[in-house]
Structure formats: structure tokens, C-alpha cells
Structure 1
């Protein structure tokens, strides 16, 4: 009985088999069905093989044929029987993607890695932050807010980190300090002042306060002042970003301060020297009022300023008014 002609869906492909597939899927039948569709079936692995068909169990055994296929790094697809069967039933070569055992293995390994990553993240979150949800904050100058403070003992250090949330909007922040007692110390101690993440201002304030407590230098002046505490900070070098910092205030000039003080004394002196003139005028007017009303009274004014004593005596109404005025005026002028 003649065999119906099939579409050449396997034309240009060389197919091999690893292990037993069971049922009617013997090497003999597979070789015939592949040949009817203008493909080539071989029993041994060589450089010409484009597809290796095997079960998931056989793939896990990592036998010689599977190893040879994997060593060819993308030049040989390792697929399940479903790819071969479905392609023949649908009379077209199907994409290998969802049938690829290599991709399935990668997905499985990624799944296992993710499980480990999640477990480690939960463990880390108990004392620090979950690294799956936070990263180190970086400002607009590309400076990362993770700094090391070195102690006086070799290997002793603090690592200060300002964390930023990955996706939350607005971003949340969390400050954590990690302490290593000495060189080779792997079990760090953690300091996290906030029980939960917060806005930038609050957590950055914790960051700066801790920095100043350990170094004795305000964070904003870290590039211009030497440390006075038990720990020191070394800024990045080689043109790397150092973050934002305030310019140090210039030291006061003693000569300038002396000149300012002298000017102030001069101003005060000029202001106070007006007082005798004002008092003299008041006394003069009072005397004239007494004369005008016929009152026989004397007006006496005394003004003292620094070391000079100004005394103006105005005699009674029987004395010449002009002489008294001149006498007082000359005394003030002197």
C-alpha cells in the first residue's frame, strides 16, 4: 500500500534519540517518520545533529548524548517527544521553545534560586532590610550612600547604608549601620534606629547623625574637616563622585574684627557727644523761661561723658544772660 506523501517539515534537520521513549516511538519508526518528511535520523551524536529527542528523566541523567548536545551551546536543541509528535500531527515544524528541555532546566534552576533568594531576603529583613525590595540610594551626582568608617583596630569598621525602595511610589527609605569588630569578623552587628521605612528626610537625618557621632564631623563637612572621633571616613578618589557637601566657612580675620570693633566704638562716641549740646539747649531754654516770668531761680546742668565733665552754671536773673550763655557754650566746646 503506497504511503501518503507528507509535507517536508523536517527538511534540513538531523534528529537523534537519547534513551527509550516507549510505545511505538522506537528508533525504527522515528527514522521512517522523519524520513517521510525529508528529515535525517541518526543513531549517534555528531556535529550534524540539530535536534536531540529525549524524556525529562533521561535529560536529568545527563548521559553522553545529552552532554554532547549541551556542549554545542545552542547549536543543538534538546526537546521532548511532544515536539516531534505535535509537529507531525499539525504538519508543520513547531517552535522549539516550550518543548526545550534546556529552557525547562534553566527555568527550574531559576525557580530554585528564587526560593533561596526569598528565604535569604526574609532572614535579612529581620535585622536589616530585604534586599529583594531595596537598593542603595544614589543621588543625582551618582554618589551611592553606602560609606565605610574605619576604626582604630585593624578591620574594625562600620558600613552605613541609606536604602531606597525598588518600586514603591513615593520611594521609602531605611537607614542601617553594620558593624564588624575586627579583621576576619563575618558575623556583623546591625543598628537600625527605625522599626519601619520612612520618608527621605527622617532616614537621612539618622544617617548623618550616626556619621557625626562616630567621626566627630558633620556629614556636610566631611570633605573639609578631619575626624575627631574614634572612626575615620575616606572619601572616594580618582574622580569618583563624592556626594554633595557644604563649603567650609572662612576663618575670621583678627585684623578685620579689630577694625570692626574700633569703628563701633567711634560710632558710639560720635552718638554720645551730641548729649551735652542737647542738655545745654534744654538748660538755656529753662533759664530764659525763668527770666521771662520773673522767677528768681538758678538752673544748674551737669553732664558727664567718659573722662570729660561738662558743667554749665547759669546764675540768677540778676546776672547778664549773654555772659552765662557764652560761658556754658565755651565750656562744652572745650
Structure 2
């Protein structure tokens, strides 16, 4: 066994040039580390130079950044703990240095400290503003970020360099909750802005958007949907909004009426209160007509911006409406033609029914007339016989004339009855 060690037959540390930053405690000094390295196929170096591949050190030595550590960083050597050296010898194979690297351990410690500091900062911000660890800025379908700036530079009133930062936050957790908040900077280099937050807890998107839009209208005097068309047209006493340029998204339009709404809740460290104290009497006088205007109905002449999708939907609705109107007209015409076609058939059917009834009635009347004619003829004949029997020869010749006259009267009566029947 001693022969194998003398010849360095073990190849566990083959190709490794090892050094130590300083004595590591206990038996971990230069002599022992050099002996263990040589007996396992490695090369030990007393000085850290460009040929060194591994430097053994403690976390305290690494944090202190002693000269040997600086040299190891310069020559990009692996700075590892003594555990890597010990585990490699015990398992008799070259272990991965990343698991024992002091650089990675230092990065993890720093990241852990940063996370803790960030969490503490978020907790402090949540007390007055919004916990940024649990929320992020909301972006709409056009990828427009709801983080805007309103500025005011009114030399007459002395309000110069004032600024509002408006935020619409979306929770990281699902289902998403939303929160509106604002910061007010009274001076250009104000390090402690006033915070405005109308609600203590998250709400649905519609309510948070309403708070955002109403606050925007109160400070600028411009409706959110008209923020691009009327940008820079208001009085200097109002806050000004500068829309994004260079093809950047400008946000979508909403069917909200901010003039008929009001912000709900009391803000924490209200920025609007700070703004009101800095505003002049001129601003307060101008607020009255603004309220009166807000009560008025929005005029139809005001230009309304529409996105491409809304325009397409409106055109499709108009086309569909025209098609429906055409269909209704065609159906009405068809119904009208159908009625006109059925009208003569209906009359024919009525006339055919009435014709049968009138024919039956005519037959009854004709029979009744015939009976009357027969009765009249019989009466005439009986009267004629009676006259012939009672008169003489002379009288008989004279009585024929009235008989003929009576007969003609009977005929005329018969003709009259027949004409009535016809």
C-alpha cells in the first residue's frame, strides 16, 4: 500500500493544481494539504497563480476578500470549501465544484438578503401605498401600462413642477384583484410624496378603472376617452397629460361617464388634500363651472375616438340591420301579393255560395207566381161561365168585350209578376 502512495497511483485529483487561501483550521495547513493532494494525483501550489485550478477557503476568508482570494478571482480559479476536497477523497472521484463553490453560496446569500429586504420594503409600502411584491402594473389588451404622469407648471399661481403619478395595480395571485393609487409631488425634488389610495383592499377591474378615470378627469378636466384629442387644450391651472409617442400603445376606450361619478373612500395621506391646499382661489372659482359642465349631457358633436375593432363591429351591425330591413320588406311584399291572389278566389267562393241560395229562392218565387197565375185564370174562367149562363144571346155577345178586357188585365198582371221575378 505504501508503494502505491509513493508512486501516486490514485487519480482522484488528476489534473488539479490546488492551493489554499490561508490555514483552514485544525490539521488543514499547507503541509497536510500538500501531502494529501500529492498522494491523490494532484499538484499543490504554495502561491496562487494562473496555473492554479482550485483554491480552498472558508466563507469568512471569501467575504474578507484577502489577497489570495483576489488572485483566485483574477485568474478565474474555483474557490471552494474544504468539504469539496474531503468528499472527493472519501468518494474517490472528482466531484462537481458548483455544489461547493463559495461564489454561488455568496450569490445565494445575497439573493436571500435581497428578497428579505424587498419583502420588508413591500410590507412598509403596503401600510401606506401598495405592496409591490404582490402586485404589478396592469396592462390592457393593447399592452398599455396604466402608470401615467400628470404635470402642472402654473407661474401665475406659483404651482411649478408639481406632479401626479397614477397607478393601476393588478395582483399577482389569481383571480386578479385591482387597486388604484396615486402619488403627489408638491415640488420638483420632493422625496416624500403624498399618497392617495381610495380603497384599502383590491376590487374588480371595473371599479378600479372607474377610480382611475374619475381621478384623471378631476385633475385634468378631460375625459379619459378624449385624452389624446384634447391633450394640451386645457387651462394651465389644470394638470396636463402627455400621451405616448413613437407608435407606442395609448390605451383603449371605455364606456364610463366620469363626470357622473365620484371617487369612493378616503385616501391614505391624501394627495388630493395636499393638492387642494396648494391650489389658489382661481382654481376654486374655476371648479364651479367645471361641475356645472359635468352635469350637462355630453354633446353629440364632440369627437369620439374609436378603435379599429369597434369601427368594424359598428359597420357589421349596420350591414346586418340593412339586411334585416331588406328581408322584412321582401316578406311584406310576398304577404301583400298572397293577399291579392287570394282576394278574387274569396269573392268567387262567396258568389258561388250565394248563387245557390238565390237560385233556390227564385225557384220558390217562380212556383208561387205560377200558383197565383193559375188561381187568377181559374177565377177568370169561373166568372166568365157565370156571366154566360145568366145572360141572353144579346147579352152574351155584349159580355164578351169585358171578358177580353179582363183577360188582358190578367195577362198584364202576369207580365208584371214575371218582370219582378227577373
TM-score (norm 2): 0.56
* CA deviation after TM superposition for structure 1 residue 36, in Å: 2.6
2:29 to 10, 26, 36: 26
User: 8 Å contact 1:138–1:145 — kept in the other structure?
Assistant: yes
* CA deviation after TM superposition for structure 1 residue 249, in Å: 8.1
* CA deviation after TM superposition for structure 1 residue 250, in Å: 6.7
1:230 to 231, 234, 238: 238
1:132 aligns with 2:133: yes
* CA deviation after TM superposition for structure 1 residue 246, in Å: 7.1
- Once the two structures are overlaid, the 10-residue window that deviates more, 141-150 or 114-123, is 114-123
Aligned-partner Cα distance in 2 for 1:13–1:117: 41
* CA deviation after TM superposition for structure 1 residue 177, in Å: 0.9
Within-5 A mapping of 1:75-224: 75-152=76-153, 153-166=159-172, 168-224=173-229
Aligned-partner Cα distance in 1 for 2:51–2:218: 69
Which residue in the other structure is 1:259 paired with?
Answer: none
| Structure exhibiting the larger radius of gyration computed from Cα positions | 2
Task: Summarize deviations over 1:206-235 as a string: whole Å, max 9, x none.
Answer: 000000011111111111123356111110
The unaligned stretches of length 5 or more in structure 2 are: 154-158, 256-297, 303-422
Structure 1's 130 and 246: CA in aligned 2 closer, same or farther, altered over 3 A? closer
* CA deviation after TM superposition for structure 1 residue 173, in Å: 0.7
SS at match of 1:110: helix
User: 8 Å contact 1:59–1:66 — kept in the other structure?
Assistant: yes
The unaligned stretches of length 5 or more in structure 1 are: 253-334
1:251 aligns with 2:301: yes
Pick the structure with more helix per residue.
2
Pick the structure with more strand per residue.
1
Which residue in the other structure is 2:17 paired with?
Answer: 14
Aligned-partner Cα distance in 1 for 2:128–2:54: 50
State the Cα RMSD in Å. Answer: 2.1
* CA deviation after TM superposition for structure 1 residue 22, in Å: 2.8
SS at match of 1:2: helix
Structure 1 segments, 4+ long, off by >4 Å, are 246-250
SS at match of 2:144: coil
1:62 to 54, 61, 65: 65
Count of aligned pairs: 249
SS at match of 2:188: coil
